Amino acid sequence: MKERIWGLLILIVVSAVLFFAGMDNRVLGDPIEAYQVYLDGEKIGLIKSKDDFLSLIDREQEALKKRYNVSKVYPPNGLDIKKVYTYETEMVSEESIYDSIKDVEPFTIDGYTVTITYNPETLYEDGTQKHPEGVKKVYLLEKSLIKDALYNVAAAFIGEENVDKYNKGTQIEIEDTGEIINSIYFDDTITVKKDLISTEEYIFDDVSSLSRYLLYGTLANQKTYTTQVGENLQAIATANQLNIEELLIANPQYKSANVLLAEGEKINIGLINPLVNVVYRKTDVRKVDIAYTTEYKSDDTKPKSYKAVTTKGQKGQSKITQEIRYINGEIQSLQITSSETISPVVNEVITVGTKEGSGSTHYNTTLGNDDYFWPTLVPFTIGTRFEWRWGKHHDGIDIYGTGHGSPIFAVHDGTVYRTNYNTKASTGIAVYIDHGNNYYTIYMHLSKILVKEGQKVKKGQQVGKMGNTGNSYGTHLHLAVFTGAPPYSMNSKAVDPCKTIFTC
């Protein structure tokens, strides 16, 4: 009896399974093909046709097609459409999905993404990174725009004629003196990729606006100035915290700082802040005058009233070859690779009478006056001067060319009141000298210090060696002069060394 009951139960279960399986096949049928739509990872609906949905977007966005002069408009970047197989029969219309996204996310068009990846070692004078964000993206309609815009930016700093001659290989070789560009490149990694660009982004469609953006780093209109009677470009640049080179770059209609200005001219006084870093290297061969030094010799056999030029000074001349590296028109490194004497220097000797004299001598360069001594060897080149640069003031002069480890001299008698050995400080290794009468000098970026705090120094005494420490692009001396109080204190004022203690 039990066997018959168990057999009946098994038969019932098997029959039920077969019944429901057959019913599932008959009622549900085969799964259907559909498309699941996601927005930013969330499901927003199931539609029948992906193609119909994309066509709907394209038809409805005629305004975008006219605005950008493109033939097709695509879904937002955050929208994803995936094919699925489902037994779900309730779907939403393509129109319903379109209405739910049209005012939420921006649509996209064909274009190009330019990615600028910056060199982290490219710094401002104060040591801050020029582009701390690390990466910048720019969006274009046409790929060719970036090539033409980069050319325009390079030409702004180097000169269109110079860039063209370099590209065509038509530069004149140096025979006696002159200069030649050896290389032009960008100190950034610039990549271009075809992409779907969100219409929420600013998309460049002309070379002119893209060039301005790469040069100024902003889409905002630049400030202008209307000239008055008797004004000149140098005064306008200084008044607007620019140096003359920056003003000329912003106003290519002027070829030099000495042009005559008419009343009412419009001048661009916007601050250049390039989004790319144009690097170029050149060889420069030139003849330079070498100033003679004056040696004072004391003669204790002569009365104190005696003073006579016993050897008349005569400046010399040398032909020097310089290898210079620029970034965006600013010298980053300079090395004098050779120096040929054309005519020798004859140092002037002045004998002064003094019965109690010790017979000691001291020296002076005619770049300054009887009181101040030039701080480096010669020949040399002054790079950045006492001027505005990139919206910040450069409070000194940068002297290049005498080589790493070359001597640095005190410009005047004084007392060393501070020495800095911290190579990570913006000044690098530095010597601070108090010359009395509220005059102070700083010698920055040294490789070595040869004096101690509190030590008395004489004019022309070596206080250190030239280097490249701190916020420095290349071997050079940054010489700063302050008056009124110790440097960077409340009542101190930076002054131009070339207009106060020297003539340079």
Q: What domains can be seen in the chain, in order of their start residue? A: 32-105 (no CATH), 114-173+185-268 (no CATH), 278-500 (2.70.70.10)
Q: How far apart are CA 194 and CA 418, in angstroms?
A: 57
Three-class secondary structure assignment of 432-497: EEEEECCEEEEEEEEEEECCCCCCEECCCCEEEEEECCCCCCCCEEEEEEEECCCCCCCCCEEECH
Residue ranges for the chain with pLDDT beneath 70: 1-29, 122-130, 355-370
439: which 2 tokens? Answer: 């005059």
Interior/surface letters 55-94, b for 16+ CB within 10 angstroms, e for the rest = ebbbeebeebeeebebeebbbbbbbeeeeeeeeeeebeeb
**Which of 86, 85, 84, 54 lies closest to 72 in space, CA to CA?**
54
pLDDT of residue 21: 45
Q: How far apart are CA 370 and CA 364, in angstroms?
A: 6
156: which 2 tokens? Answer: 């702004």
Instruction: Return the ∠ at Cα 502 (arms to 499 and 504), rounded to 5°.
Output: 75
Interior/surface letters 310-344, b for 16+ CB within 10 angstroms, e for the rest = eeebeebebbbbbebbbbbbbbbbbbbeeeeeeee
pLDDT of residue 419: 94
Model confidence, pTM? 0.77
Q: How far apart are CA 266 and CA 224, in angstroms?
A: 6
pLDDT of residue 144: 95
pLDDT of residue 365: 44
pLDDT of residue 84: 92
Q: Give residues with Cβ within 8 angstroms of 26, minimum separation 6.
A: none
